[in-house]
A and B are shown apart, each in its own frame.
Chain A
Amino acid sequence: MDVFLQTLVAGFLKGGLYALIGIGMTLIMGVMGIINLAHGQLMMLAMYVTFVLNTMGVDPYVSLFVAMPLLFLLGVTIQKFLLNPLIRVETILPENQVLMTVGIGMVLTEIVRFAFKSDYKYVTTEYSNRTFSLGNISFSVPLTIAFGIALLFTLAMFWFLLKTDLGRSIRATAQDKDAATLMGVNTGRITVITFGIGSALVAAAGCLLAPVYYIFPDIGGPFTSKAFIITILGGLGSTVGAIFGGVTLGLAESMGATYFGMEYEDIVGLTIFILVLLFLPGGFKRLTKV
């Protein structure tokens, strides 16, 4: 029973971070209708920002305030100069923007490999390995803090989307781009801002993950796949779904790791993903209708 509870807690904490990754992806998916296959690479970039700042003695949680604006700017640049020009272009394959994000992801990875080499880096803090326990269940301190901050960001995101003008414009664009344009929403600008916000959110996840994870250039790829698994689980474009998806993936991964063995961690996620695609297309959004 303790093992089960412990696994549950670990999965839940990880799920909070995954939700943060997923929300960024699902926002981009909802507004632009494209899958951002450079999402994990953006996170990797944020982890390296945290690493560089950490060598200068900055705490990873403080570097949130540097990495998020930086990645926001990068996201804005990518959307404005690399993705938006592709909308008007006639091509054989309609997926040109998705393919572009693949190219961007590759370039980001290679730039980092070029600058930092391929070896593993660590962000070491005094609390990296610290734990506290409630009853027989132990909680990792950095993961718990990360979960808390992720929760905070998620709530802030909801407030932003529901209550502010900009947030409403983003939701309007996601629901019906043409109608939003007719209502006077500058949808071009909204796409740019959304990509920026998505990048900033995944940057936050990167900073939070940095103290408990090792950092290397190719880490982006696996997290991109996690991001789209979460998004598909939750339903494309659904923010609430992304939270469910993130927590589900986190739980599934830690269950897989505990009961099947560490090497099955990823395969459990992929299996769930394919099952959902086949039997519940549309993800949890179909069940919750949010």
Chain B
Amino acid sequence: MKAAGSKMKKNLFPLLLLAGLALLPLVLESNYFLHLMILFLLWVVIGSSWNLLAGFTGQVSFGHAAFFGVGAYTAGLLFHHLQISPWWGMALGGVFAFLVGLPFGAICFPLRGAYFALASLALGEGIRHIATIAESFTGGMVGIMIMPTFVSKVPYYYITLFLASLSVLSIQLIMRSKPGYYFISIREDQDAAASLGVNTTLYKNVSLAISAFWTGMAGALYMNYMGFIDPHVVFSLHDYSVMAILVAIVGGVGTVYGPTVGAFIMVAFQELFRTGFFGLFAFLGKATGVAAVTALGDAVKKAHVLGFGILVIVVILYLPNGVVGDWEKIKRNVFRIHPAK
């Protein structure tokens, strides 16, 4: 009875969260917070799809910016060359990312471990160079600019929410089905999986295809929302390939909701720093009249990426399976501290 109850609770929580997120724009009218929420949801999609390939299938990719960028460029180029609404690019962005994923997989999947990681990194960087060089087609470093469809952020918010919940749901469903178990068997021991009759190459490609598809969709949505892309923005190794990894690591690699938590932590943490703890330092500085506090606040504002980087190092050191993966550990340690008080 208790087990059934806790299972109910487990299923209910994401639904409640989703309902809460769906109602959010009704109470929250600030464009600033909606923008942050859109970024958060976008990172949910990217982090979750990276996690499917790396966390569940064990193929640590350093090239996910390739899929993100291809998705974004699909939407942008459709409008740029054919004057087709970039929203059609959303449907196609995922498909094109999937198509790019095919040769990507063909090149990388014969390799294992660190070699796979490096090959994916090189491919991701290679695509960025190609996008920069093929100026007549992609506009090169000039980039592509489109007019956003909606003035309000609310429609974008709902579209991103829809995309994020769909991608997380799909990953959850896959992981509960047969292919999901194949993925995990490949991660745990590829040779053992192959000897038991799992077609490892096929399932690695399936995992990559789903992962690339959602990342491409996220890229196309980014194009629609931001209205401007250039190769250095959307194919960026550090801003997307690496950030996708860090988001998943902080939240918990190999857990369905880990990247969601990680995305929230990443966006919240960076914003907390960027605003100087929402003006707390500036306020304290004014209140106490100490110039050093204000100066500290200004320093903190500039260190938003640094802060997140340090958080990542601390998390890898002390919570190697991420916040969700090591949740039991966190709970245990917190409980151990409390009775002592």
The interface of chain A, by Cβ under 8 A from chain B, is 34-35, 82, 85-86, 89-96, 98-100, 102-104, 106-107, 109-111, 113-114, 218, 221, 225, 228-229, 232, 263-264, 266-267, 270-271, 273-274, 277-278, 281
Residues of B within 8 A of A82 (CB): 313, 317
Among B80-88, B124-132, B203-211, the one that faces the other chain is B124-132
Q: How far is the CA of A89 from the CA of B253 in the complex (A)?
A: 15
Q: Which residue of A lies closest to B252 (CB)?
A: A92
Question: What string of 1s and 0s marks CB contacts (under 8 Å) between B42-78 and chain A?
Answer: 0000000000001100101000000000000000000
Which B residue's beta carbon lies closest to that of A111? Answer: B306
B122 contacts A274, CB within 8 Å?
yes
Which of B129, B306, B320 lies in contact with A266, CB distance below 8 A? B129
Contact with A277, one of B58, B119, B132, B306 (Cβ below 8 angstroms): B119
A271, B54: Cα distance in complex, Å: 24
Nearest-neighbour CB distance to chain A for B118, whole angstroms, equals 5
A92 touching B55 by the CB < 8 A rule? Answer: yes
- The answer, yes or no, to whether B137 is at the interface (CB within 8 Å) is no
Report how far A85 CA is from B238 CA in the complex, Å.
Answer: 25
Q: Are the C-beta atoms of B316 and A273 separated by less than 8 Å?
A: no
- Is B233 at the interface (CB under 8 A from chain A)? no
Bound together, the chains give a CA A46 to CA B125 distance in angstroms of 25
Interface residues of B (CB under 8 A from A): 54-55, 58, 60, 107, 110-111, 113-115, 117-119, 121-123, 125-126, 129-130, 132-133, 187, 237-238, 242, 245-246, 249, 253-254, 299, 302-303, 305-306, 309-310, 312-313, 316-317, 320-321, 325
Q: Are A225 and B121 in contact (CB under 8 A)?
A: yes
In the complex where A93-B55, A225-B122, A266-B125 touch, is A85 in contact with B245 (Cβ < 8 A)? no
Given contact pairs A89-B320, A91-B320, A264 touches B115 in the complex (Cβ within 8 A): no
A selection of 29 A-B contacts at a CB cut-off of 8 Å is A34-B114, A35-B114, A35-B117, A82-B317, A86-B317, A89-B320, A92-B55, A92-B254, A94-B113, A98-B114, A100-B316, A100-B317, A102-B245, A103-B309, A104-B313, A109-B238, A110-B303, A113-B305, A113-B306, A114-B302, A225-B125, A228-B121, A263-B129, A266-B125, A267-B130, A270-B126, A271-B126, A273-B122, A277-B122
Which chain A residue lies CB-closest to B326?
Answer: A91
Known: A86-B316, A228-B121, A277-B118. 14 other contacts (CB 8 A): A91-B253, A92-B187, A92-B254, A98-B117, A102-B245, A103-B316, A107-B306, A109-B238, A113-B305, A114-B303, A221-B237, A232-B118, A266-B129, A278-B107
